Amino acid sequence: MRIDVVTLFPEWVGQLEQFGVVGRGLRESRLELACWNPRDDADNASRRIDDRPYGGGPGMVMQGPPLAATLERIQAARANRVPVIMPSPQGQAFDQDEAQRLAEGEGFVLVCGRYEGIDQRFVDAYVDKELSVGDVVLSGGELPAMMIVDAVARLLSGVLGDSRSASEDSFVNGLLDHPHYTRPPRFADRDVPSVLLSGDHARIERWRAQQALGATWRRRPDLLARRELDATQKALLEAYIAEQKGESGDPDGAGE
Ligand code: SAH
């Protein structure tokens, strides 16, 4: 998979190569990341790529022609035509389903806006999809682009040490993840839930499934409303809810 990023700060986005599992994926060539500076395509000695907005008002707008020229260079460097994506607060919400779709494709181009944004004619003519990372305004598309690269990269085979890590994460099955514990067994006046020390793998699996269902029910009921639970999951969640209401004596909440 190859991802191209158009950014005024290529050194910053390129830092992804140095850290964590994504950095390792890049170094081991499971993923290729190429950063392009539209200033290299500016039609002037001062390398300006922004100008004042038509109609007046505050701020500057990124100009279309240098960005179009950068896209042409990218297209020439790639064997295949891939989607052009622009991070934008006006885009569709970037979520795990979208990350999965992108991870199954052949790569994509991310075009990072700055200032007030990019000339609308560039967006209309060249951008296939706008993705938002939340109802909040950032100063540029670089952090959203890095989020998108990170979320997609960890889904590529071989990037995470254990591929089960990705399949058990929040949102992957339409649920939040269960809580995690590690040593020491007692910390901050709290013990590890005893079921996790029982060595009974079926019971542990049931407890984790129940915790995932319970966390989703408490924090993100909208996720539960969007999916069908099977009979086992329904029973686990009902037991969890009953326990929350103080109707169950099962201390582990393992639904037995
Ligand atoms: N005037 C624009 C915001 C421009 S912010 C507006 O109100 O819609 C500058 C750039 O930051 C944008 O072009 C976009 O690339 C990026 N950006 C800011 N917030 C973002 C968000 N929530 N999601 C994705 N990209 C964002």
The residue that leads in pLDDT, 109 or 172, is 109
> Has residue 39 got a pLDDT over 60?
yes
Q: Is-catalytic flag, 116?
A: yes
CATH of domain 186-248: 1.10.1270.20
Q: Of 65, 89, 193, 220, which is the active-site residue?
A: 89
Q: Is-catalytic flag, 119?
A: no
| Fold that domain 2-153 belongs to in CATH | Alpha/beta knot (3.40.1280)
The pLDDT tens digits of the residues spanning 56-104 come to 999 999 999 999 999 999 999 998 999 999 999 999 999 999 999 999 9
Ligand 1 atom nearest to 133, measured from its CA: 23
Q: Is-catalytic flag, 48?
A: no
Q: Of 130, 169, 238, 252, which is the active-site residue?
A: 169
Identify the band that residue 256 occupies on the pLDDT scale cut at 50, 70 and 90: very low
Cα 8 from chain centroid (whole Å): 22
Q: Of 114, 154, 206, 208, which is the active-site residue?
A: 154
Distance 225 CA to ligand 1 centre (A): 30
What pLDDT is stored for residue 250 in this prediction?
54
Distance 134 CA to ligand 1 centre (A): 10
Ligand 1 atom nearest to 135, measured from its CA: 22
Gap between the Cα atoms of 170 and 193, Å rounded: 21
Span of 22-26, 176-180, 196-200 with lowest mean pLDDT: 22-26
Secondary element (H or E) of residue 210: helix 201-219
Q: What is the mean pLDDT of residues 197-222?
A: 98
Q: Tell which one of 88, 129, 132, 149 to mutate to probe ligand 1, the residue whose CB is within 8 A of the most ligand atoms.
A: 88
Secondary element (H or E) of residue 55: none
Residue 9: count of CB within 10 angstroms of its CB: 15
Identify the band that residue 255 occupies on the pLDDT scale cut at 50, 70 and 90: very low
Ligand 1 atom nearest to 90, measured from its CA: 8
Q: Is-catalytic flag, 218?
A: no
- Domain residues of the chain, as ranges? 2-153, 186-248
Identify the band that residue 167 occupies on the pLDDT scale cut at 50, 70 and 90: confident
Q: What is the mean pLDDT of residues 195-217?
A: 98
Q: What are the b/e assignments for 181-198, b being 16+ CB within 10 Å?
A: eeeeeeeeeeeebebbee
What pLDDT is stored for residue 249 in this prediction?
55
Identify the band that residue 162 occupies on the pLDDT scale cut at 50, 70 and 90: confident
This prediction has a pTM of: 0.93
Distance 100 CA to ligand 1 centre (A): 23
Q: Tell which one of 62, 137, 139, 148 to mutate to probe ligand 1, the residue whose CB is within 8 A of the most ligand atoms.
A: 137
> Has residue 128 got a pLDDT over 80?
yes
Cα-based distances in Å from 44 to 69, 115, 155: 14, 19, 41
Q: Which distant-in-sequence residues (6+ apart) come within 8 Å of 28 by Cβ?
A: 158
Gap between the Cα atoms of 33 and 138, Å rounded: 23
